[in-house]
Amino acid sequence: MSNHVFKVEGRAIPIRGNDIDTDQIIPARFMKCVTFDGLGEYAFFDVRFDDQGNGKDHPFNEEKYQGASILLVNSNFGCGSSREHAPQALAKWGIKAVVGESYAEIFAGNCVAMGIPAIELSHEAVEEIIRLVEEDPSLELTLLVREQVVQLGRRTFEGFIPPAYRNSLTQGTWDSTSVLLDAPEDIDKVAARLPYVSGF
């Protein structure tokens, strides 16, 4: 299996709003689990369902967005808790990439650690893409990681993926454990020079 992430293609689903926190993406009560399996059905639970469990107006409940794999968001998406359960829940629902204005730092790091590209676009570009997708949810989007662009039909929207994230996705090193374990002597050398490890 190749770990290289060069592009993600698929239909998109818009979640409008700034500062959408990870408590909204996955309420804490659903984190009472020892695996990430099954989190998909709880994504955005409290904004999708009322107290009685009846579906509310929410894109994740709408038939036309089922099967979408690219999440469209506004600014500071994923703020709050460091819970990887948030991107895990989105991924289990079917999300493979995020297109938005900006992301909270830990959320962005968690996405990359899972091989999910998150590209930053201008407010105007995001609004335009959301408008087009709301008009026609069957539209196919393409996110190109190295080129940092989102393509939609003949339109191309330029964006930004921080270089280190872009590299780790395209180099296939986003799952960093084996890379980090690659330099055992260097790790020991650093440990040995730290006064609080080696003894003051």
Partner 1 sequence: MGRNLFDKVWDLHKVRTLESGQDQLFIGLHLIHEVTSPQAFQMLEDRGLTVRFPERTFATVDHIVPTKAQARPFGDSLAEQMMLALEENTKKYNIEFFDLSSGKQGIVHIIGPELGLTQPGMTIACGDSHTSTHGAFGAIGFGIGTSQIRDVLASQCMAISRPKVRRIQVNGTLADGVYAKDIILKIIADLGVKGGLGYAYEYAGPAIHELSMEGRMTICNMSIEGGARVGYVNPDETSYEYIRGRQYAPDGEDFDQAIAFWNSIASDEDARYDDVYTLDANSLSPMVTWGINPGQAISVDDHMPSVSEMQPEQQEVARKAYRHMEFDEGQAIRGTQIDVAFLGSCTNSRISDLREAASIVKGRTVKSGVKAFVVPGSMQIARQAREEGLMQIFEDAGFEWRGAGCSMCLGMNPDKLQGREICASSSNRNFIGRQGAPGGRTLLMSPAMVAAAAITGEVTDVRELKQRASEPAHA
Q: Secondary structure of 100-149 in the HEC alphabet?
A: ECCECHHHHHHHHHCCCCEEECCHHHHHHHHHHHHHCCCCEEEEECCCCE
198 binding partner 1? (CB under 8 A):
no
Rounded distance between C-alpha atoms, residue 115 and residue 109, angstroms: 10
Among 81, 121, 145, 159, binds partner 1 (CB under 8 A): 81
Stated as kind and residue range, the H or E segment containing 188 is: helix 184-193
Is 24 a binding residue for partner 1 by CB under 8 A? The answer is: yes
Tokens of 37: 């399996």
Count of positions (residues) in the chain: 200
Judged by CB under 8 A, the residue of 1, 54, 197, 198 near partner 1 is: 197
Which of 144, 150, 141 minimizes the C-alpha distance to 121? Answer: 150
Does 67 bind partner 1 (CB under 8 A)? Our answer is no
Query: Tokens 């299996």, residue?
Result: 1
Q: Does 180 bind partner 1 (CB under 8 A)?
A: yes
Nearest CB to partner 1, comparing residues 135 and 186: 186
Instruction: Examine residue 35 and tell whether it contacts partner 1 (CB under 8 A).
Output: yes
Report 101-140 residues binding partner 1 (CB under 8 A): 102, 104-106, 109-110, 113-114, 123
Contacts of 106 (CB under 8 A, 6+ apart): 78, 82
User: What element of type H or E holds 8?
Assistant: strand 7-15
Number of residues that bind partner 1 (CB under 8 A): 64
Q: Which of 2, 29, 52, 198 binds partner 1 (CB under 8 A)?
A: 29
The contact mask relative to partner 1 for 145-174 (x = CB under 8 A, - = no) is: -----------------xxxx-xx--x-x-
Q: List residues near partner 1 by CB under 8 A.
A: 17-19, 21, 23-24, 27-29, 31-36, 46, 51, 75-76, 79-85, 87-88, 102, 104-106, 109-110, 113-114, 123, 162-165, 167-168, 171, 173, 175-177, 179-181, 183, 186-187, 189-191, 193-197, 199-200
